[in-house]
Amino acid sequence: MMFCQKCGGILMPKKEGNKKFLACTCGFKTKEIDETKLKEVMESKSKVEVIERSDVESLPIAETECPNCHNRNAYYWLVQTRASDEPETRFFRCVKCKHTWREYQ
């Protein structure tokens, strides 16, 4: 599908005489279809970013071992990083050294 550059609506194929083009209900028309170049842009949403939390002290604390300093207490929070039918990812941040890691369930 192509979208209107003017209003963002869907462009539909039209024909006037022997000319074929794409047109929108707002009145926007493209060049003839033979001259129109199609371009597809794909964006991957699989990249997961860990957001630095400034309010980390308000998070609950779990008793788990930090892989960096071996401290036994870490803040934790849950994020749905995969499909909704899969379990969430648990993130931890060490109370002592602030090292952050994740645990998949």
Mean pLDDT by 10 residues, the chain (105 residues): 81 82 85 62 62 68 93 90 83 91 81
Angle at 39 between CA 36 and CA 41, to 5 degrees: 160
In which residue ranges of the chain is CATH 2.20.25.10 found? 56-104
* pTM listed for this prediction: 0.47
Report how far Cα 57 is from the mean position of its chain's Cα atoms: 27
CATH code assigned to 1-41: 2.20.25
User: Is 85 a known active-site residue?
Assistant: yes
Residues 32, 65, 86, 103: which is the catalytic one?
Answer: 86
Supply the pLDDT for residue 63. 93
93 bridge partner residues: 75, 100
Supply the pLDDT for residue 68. 92
Question: How many Å apart are CA 66 and CA 54, to the nearest integer?
Answer: 20
94 bridge partner residues: 74
User: Is 55 a known active-site residue?
Assistant: no
Supply the pLDDT for residue 23. 86
* Architecture of the structural domain at 56-104: Single Sheet (2.20)
Residues 35, 49, 63, 85: which is the catalytic one?
Answer: 85
